Amino acid sequence: DIQMTQSPSSLSASVGDRVTITCRASQGVSNYLAWYQQSPGKVPSLLIYEASTLQSGVPSRFSGSGSGTDFTLTISSLQPEDVATYYCQKYNTAPGTFGQGTKVEIK
Amino acid sequence: QVQLVESGGGVVQPGTSLRLSCAASGFAFIDYAIHWVRQAPGKGLEWVALISYDGGIKYYVDSVKGRFTISRDNFKNTLFLQMNSLRPEDTAVYYCAKSRGSFPGYLDSWGQGTLVTVSS
């Protein structure tokens, strides 16, 4: 099965900072890559699908890029409400493996 | 709007069984694949199982194969997860999630989750 590895596992940044999270697949998944946000105590929600398409209602400061094995989630200007754990997931085939998550905090 | 409501969680002893349900509304249930995803306390998300729109295709994560069975009733707009031979490591919040896009799809709507605790 394809493994998904995120880095870093956690990060702390200041409000307004640009934040980048990477996700690497052990084999190519084309652009079948989604990103989810899970705020503390909340249910996960979809941020990005097809590697770079923003889900309706998601602020434009979030963006995604990549294809094949290497993907990036970027928050262009970190806001307090972005404190959350972010997960990538590949969905080209089952199993729909998630990355281990990246916890984002405010410095 | 899309609503997914899980039920059936609880505290059970190792080796016993539990059946989770996920009641769907606000969309054409019969048109979509549905997934189960779980999250152990303080841990990350783990994909568990998937069923196609018509129930004809099912997939499972290796750790639950032979113990868990996913099914659906398209007349009652309900998804199920039959969990047998439960282990302490199955302790988690179980979410059902609606799929979108090319099969197996990404997860565009999630339920609130139901907690399963396996403990003696």
Give per-residue pLDDT as tens, A62-100. 999 999 999 999 999 999 999 999 999 999 999 999 999
- pLDDT, residue B102, reads 86
Instruction: Report the alpha-carbon distance of residue B12 to residue B40 in Å, rounded.
Output: 15
- pLDDT, residue A71, reads 98
First to last CA, chain A: 37
pLDDT over 70, % of chain A: 100
Instruction: Report the alpha-carbon distance of residue A28 to residue A67 in Å, rounded.
Output: 8
Instruction: Report the alpha-carbon distance of residue A16 to residue B5 in Å, rounded.
Output: 37
Instruction: Report the alpha-carbon distance of residue A39 to residue A59 in Å, rounded.
Output: 15
Please count the CA atoms within 13 angstroms of the CA of B15 that sit on its side-chain side.
Answer: 1
In angstroms, the separation between the Cα of residue A56 and the nearest Cα of chain B is 10
Q: DSSP 3-state assignment of B90?
A: helix
**Partners of residue A38 in chain B, C-beta under 8 Å:** 45
Segment 38-77 of chain A within 8 Å of chain B by CB: 38, 43-46, 49-50, 55
Measure the CA dihedral B60/A44/A52/B99, to 10°.
Answer: 40
Cβ–Cβ gap A46/B108 under 8 Å: yes
Above 90 in pLDDT, residue A26? yes
In angstroms, the separation between the Cα of residue A10 and the nearest Cα of chain B is 13
Mean pLDDT on A18-44: 98
Q: Which residues of chain B have pLDDT under 50?
A: none
Above 90 in pLDDT, residue A43? yes
pLDDT over 90, % of chain A: 100
Inter-chain contacts counted by CB atoms under 8 A, chains A and B: 65
Q: Is the dihedral of CA B46, A106, A43, A28 positive or negative?
A: negative
Mutation target vs B (from A30, A38, A91, A92; most B CBs, 10 A cutoff): A91
Instruction: Report the alpha-carbon distance of residue A89 to residue A97 in Å, rounded.
Output: 6
- pLDDT, residue B90, reads 98
- pLDDT, residue B75, reads 97
- pLDDT, residue A31, reads 96
